[in-house]
């Protein structure tokens, strides 16, 4: 298992980075990205603290750890600039908090994130055909999430991604130890979204590709 969307106590998660990574390792994960909520105000601070720590934590626990951010409720017109700031500060993975139907995310966030070429558009809600087509063209991965609430539109996302050739990943959006789901549960959630076994396996492979890209492999 790989989880490319998690939160520590640097934002609204429960655990310090080292404990989250340790619990992921014990749960059988091979890689994890630490992607705390960020906007222009805290991106530099977050990455200044995270980037120096991830390799040490990963090596100690026998898994790969990526330093990232989840740009959250950033005004659409600012997403590209804040994403560039995150890259410049060493972010290995950039996730954008998409237009989930259970939070008041600004309209236009999905499109701005895709145009900015971020790595993953998380829980993109009722994403449009045009946005999915652009994500496929830009190589932006769309998230199928195991998180309650955000997962309500998984079926819509999976259907359009399959139809228009966008790549999917499966993430937990983990905030607490219990959010690190088993492969069996992740597979069931994927099936519940209408994905086949082949599509589920491809999503796992897509996550591995992102990890390899982030680590320069």
Chain segment 97-141, per-residue pLDDT in tens:
999 999 999 999 999 999 999 999 999 999 999 999 999 999 999
Q: How far is the C-alpha of 121 from the C-alpha of 123, rounded, in Å? A: 7
> For 102, phi and psi rounded to 5 degrees?
-105, 10
pLDDT in tens, 138-188: 999 999 999 999 999 999 999 999 999 999 999 999 999 999 999 999 999
The contacts of residue 192 (CB under 8 Å, 6+ apart) are 154, 155
pTM of the model: 0.97
Query: What CATH number does residue 26 fall under?
Result: 3.20.20.140
Q: How far is the C-alpha of 77 from the C-alpha of 171, rounded, in Å? A: 26
Q: Give CA 71 to chain center in angstroms.
A: 10
As given in the structure block, the two tokens for residue 154 are 């998984």
Which element (helix H / strand E) includes 60? helix 43-61
For residue 52, the enclosing domain spans 2-214
Total domain count for the chain? 1
Q: How far is the C-alpha of 206 from the C-alpha of 189, rounded, in Å? A: 17
Q: What angle do CA 69, 60, 32 make, to 5 degrees?
A: 30
């Amino acid at each position: 298992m790989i989880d490319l969307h998690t939160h520590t106590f640097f934002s609204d998660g429960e655990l310090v980075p080292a404990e989250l990574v340790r619990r992921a390792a014990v749960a059988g994960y091979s890689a994890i990205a630490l992607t705390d909520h960020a906007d222009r105000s805290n991106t530099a601070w977050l990455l200044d603290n995270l980037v120096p720590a991830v390799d040490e934590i990963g090596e100690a626990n026998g898994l790969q750890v990526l330093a990232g951010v989840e740009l959250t409720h950033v005004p659409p017109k600012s997403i590209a600039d804040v994403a560039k700031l995150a890259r410049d500060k060493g972010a290995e993975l950039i996730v954008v908090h998409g237009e989930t139907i259970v939070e008041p995310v600004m309209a236009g966030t999905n499109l701005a994130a895709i145009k900015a070429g971020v790595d993953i558009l998380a829980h993109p809600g009722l994403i449009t055909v045009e946005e999915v087509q652009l994500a496929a063209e830009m190589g932006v991965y769309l998230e199928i999430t195991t998180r309650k609430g955000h997962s309500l539109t998984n079926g819509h996302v999976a259907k359009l991604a399959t139809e228009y050739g966008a790549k999917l990943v499966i993430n937990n959006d983990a905030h607490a130890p219990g959010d690190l789901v088993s492969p069996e549960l992740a597979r069931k959630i994927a099936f519940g979204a209408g994905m086949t076994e082949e599509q589920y396996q491809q999503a796992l492979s897509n996550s591995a590709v992102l990890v390899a890209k982030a680590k320069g492999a």
